Amino acid sequence: MTEVVLKDGFAVKKSGQKNLFGQYHWQKRWFILIQKSSLVTLSYYEKKTDKVPKGQVKLSNKYIIREPEADENEKPHLFAVGPLVEDGATRTYFISCECDEDKLEWMEVLNAAIEGASAETALKRRSRASVKFTAHAKLDRMCSLQTGAKEEMYKDPEWRKQQWEELVSIAGRTDWKKHDVKDGVTVSRMGFNENQHAIIKVEGIVDAKMRLVYGFLQKSLTQGGKLDFPFRKEKVLEKISCKPSCSIVDCFHEIRNLPRTRPRCATVLKMAMPNHMTSRETCGLLITSVNHSKSTPSVKEAVRISVGVTGCVLEPVLEPVPTAAASTSNMDDSDEDEMDTEPMKTKMTFIMQVNLQGSLQRIVKASYKSGLLVIGMRSFYLNLVEHINNYVKIVDI
């Protein structure tokens, strides 16, 4: 089996153990990433000419390559190689590069190798890193300008309608990737490298009238509802009554199951969109990041996350009306009108666009590619459908 050197070069590594003064120190090492068939090894040497490495990491899909958290960011151009889930036994390596472009190159080729890409693919991703670095810098500048432009734009009802139309447009795009279809639920995503946000879609059909599904979703966002979990620590900053009405809220979340992970906070617009205000007979819920003069993190060290146009789009599923005489013999005209105008099934599509920042964003991407997030999102969808069905049994009498 042929060994392929995917990348090598000098970088500075954080020591695994503390010195006599109880402090970690940083060591310059020569790193080599080698792929041999399905085996990927990251080795580091004290000198470039050494034959025996000071240490080795045998990489597998249990590892992720991530940005450091705020309290870990001790050096410039730093990234981390560590376990997807902290197990107390697997070490996390912190590596500081000479520049951001070199850092991105290391992260690209390491991610490709961990994902099981061929050596040829991994090398291509490494060679494209400089192009991506330039694109990311440009995107950062654009996002900064767009964020400033969004200041208090949410007060304009036309702007809120435009956000809804954008959500519907995203749901209807045909360039989704990695479709995973099971139990009537399709989970797919956009390319994780095309945008700062992870963009995921979960879609299926609910055997219920759209107005009933919409009513359930509205109730589910209230305190104690089935979808209130992102907002359990919310602070309402402003309520806007002009249609479509919305609320601006601060949300705060502690990350308890991931050690050394900072809390996350976000300022978002929450809006329910009725179908009489939309095109294409859609309705649903919308959430997106906004700026607000009163928004402040609940904890000073909290990391502010970004939520792109996100939410749930409902569309009626139009089915042919039965034409057999037997199917209509016992119906009066009003029954036939109701059947014609109110379909019995609803297409329910969830769109998630989120940048959790730092290590959490890397975990989202890694868990999707490993299949864990796909399983979780499908289970969430099916569980929600079950709750909708129970709700319909009660209210649709």
Task: Verify that 277 and 232 share a domain, yes or no.
Answer: yes
Its pTM stands at 0.64
Residue 77 located in a structural domain: yes
User: 18, 66, 62, 21: which is closest to 40 by C-alpha?
Assistant: 62
Using the Cα atoms of residue 146, residue 149, residue 154 and residue 157 in order, give the sign of their dihedral.
negative
Query: How many domains, the chain?
Result: 2
Residue 270 located in a structural domain: yes
Please report, as a single letter, which amino acid is at residue 226. Answer: K
Task: Verify that 40 and 167 share a domain, yes or no.
Answer: no
Task: Verify that 90 and 173 share a domain, yes or no.
Answer: no
Vertex 74, ends 73 and 77: CA angle to 5°? 70
Task: Verify that 46 and 180 share a domain, yes or no.
Answer: no
pLDDT digit of tens for each residue in the chain (397 aa)?
688 999 999 999 999 887 766 778 899 999 999 998 888 999 999 999 999 999 999 998 888 888 887 667 788 999 999 887 777 778 899 999 999 889 989 998 998 888 888 888 888 888 877 666 665 555 455 444 444 445 678 888 999 999 999 999 999 999 898 889 999 999 999 877 656 788 999 999 999 999 999 999 988 888 777 777 777 778 889 999 999 999 999 888 887 766 667 788 888 999 999 988 887 789 999 999 988 888 776 566 778 888 999 999 999 998 765 555 444 445 455 444 444 567 889 999 999 999 888 778 878 888 888 888 999 999 999 999 999 999 998 887 5
Task: Verify that 227 and 259 share a domain, yes or no.
Answer: yes
Report pLDDT for 251.
Answer: 86
- State the Cα–Cα distance between residues 378 and 386, nearest whole angstrom: 12
Task: Verify that 74 and 207 share a domain, yes or no.
Answer: no
Report pLDDT for 284.
Answer: 94
Residue 141 located in a structural domain: no
Tokens encoding 375: 């399983």
CB atoms within 10 A of CB 97: 22
Last residue of a domain, one of 109, 136, 163: 136
**What pairs with residue 55 in β-bridges?**
44
Q: Which residues contact 254 (CB under 8 A, 6 or more apart)?
A: 263
Last residue of a domain, one of 136, 159, 182: 136
Task: Verify that 194 and 314 share a domain, yes or no.
Answer: yes
Residue 86 maps to which CATH number?
2.30.29.30
The domain containing residue 353 runs over which residues? 150-395
- State the Cα–Cα distance between residues 368 and 379, nearest whole angstrom: 14
